[in-house]
Amino acid sequence: MTVAIQTLSTLPNKEIVFDFGKGTNVLHYVVGISYWKFSFDNTDQRIDTITLNLTSNSAGSQVTTSIAAQLQGGDHKMGYKNSSVTLSCVAILNDDNRNYTFGSGLGIPNGGRSSPITLCSSTPSVSSAFLSGFSLRYSGSKHHVQTIQTTAGVATDGSTGYITSQANMNDHSNNWAQNPTIDGGLIYVDKSQTGLLAQALPNQQAASPVSVKFPGTSLSAAAVMLQSLTVSYGSGHDHDIKHVGGGAPNWTVGGDTVVLDSAQAFMSDDSHNSQQNSDSRVSLIVLGIPA
């Protein structure tokens, strides 16, 4: 059995292909969001819809993922010259291993949880959920935004797991997203396995590099998955949006260290208003494959 990781960046509303090489066979996989940035080209707008949804399937050595995304304010739709999505795929290749569980849940409502996922054991070395999509929509008309929150968590009961959800969008006039949801993925590894390692990186708001160490283990590859994003203009403030998003856009691997170019959530309009950093943050899971 081989565990493999690939990361690809693209424009929204495109299809990407993770190809793990000739002669390999993808048995199990998960695809998660590492980073997203949605923008209007020449305007800022009050918002009615922000969504990101992934549809994936596998055949042979490949996992194909279609990306559907919306940033919409009335008749104004997302521009593409300043928008992007970075996704990471973790796959088990060639030989099955019952000590790994990869799971997913779609359309999980705020405060809810996914259908039960049967776990490989009750003694994990890795037990991590991450975002693979979200849907935030005001009802009826567009509004300003004060705060956006999307979070994928994990809850376990013995050898049963669930992906949990927090999802909200609101302004300062008591307008809230109606029926907000997330899509989520789950990676769960029994403690007997050492082929995939994980380090949590909670509550980050850093525009400069962030280092994550896997002490004593040289890594051959790494991926960063977005678990939670909260971005806010701050208490008592709401504004239009021109740019919004967050996560980790790029990273490098050297020895036992993964260096993220940045780890942050961001939001801004065209009038020099931007997120309140003390109220904005991302939580990430950094996955590593030993060399």
- DSSP label at residue 278: G
CA atoms within 13 A on the CB side of 227: 23
- The pLDDT assigned to 206 comes to 98
* Signed CA dihedral, 115, 121, 127, 128: sign only: negative
DSSP per-residue codes, 108-150: EETT-B-S-EE-S-SSEEEEEEEEEEEEEE-SSS-B-BSEEEE
Q: State how far the Cα of 38 lies from the Cα of 241, in Å rounded to an integer.
A: 10
**Cβ neighbours for 149, distance < 8 A, ≥ 6 positions apart:** 166, 167, 168, 169, 228, 229, 230
Residue range 102-108: mean pLDDT, rounded: 98
181, β-bridge pairs: 109, 135
Residue 72 has pLDDT above 90, yes or no: yes
- The pLDDT assigned to 81 comes to 86
C-alpha radius of gyration, the chain, whole number: 19
* Signed CA dihedral, 53, 68, 174, 280: sign only: positive
The pair of three-digit structure tokens given for residue 163, joined into one six-digit string: 């992906």
Q: State how far the Cα of 268 lies from the Cα of 219, in Å rounded to an integer.
A: 36
Strand order in the sheet with 160-170: 117-118, 160-170, 147-157, 219-232, 281-290, 197-204
Averaged pLDDT of the chain:
97
Q: What predicted TM-score, i.e. pTM, was given to this entire model?
A: 0.97
Three-state SS at 264: strand
Using one digit for the tens of pLDDT, what is the confidence trace for 240-291? 999 999 999 999 999 999 999 999 999 999 999 999 999 999 999 999 999 9
- The pLDDT assigned to 95 comes to 87
* Burial group, residue 73, by CB count within 10 angstroms (0-12, 13-18, 19+): buried
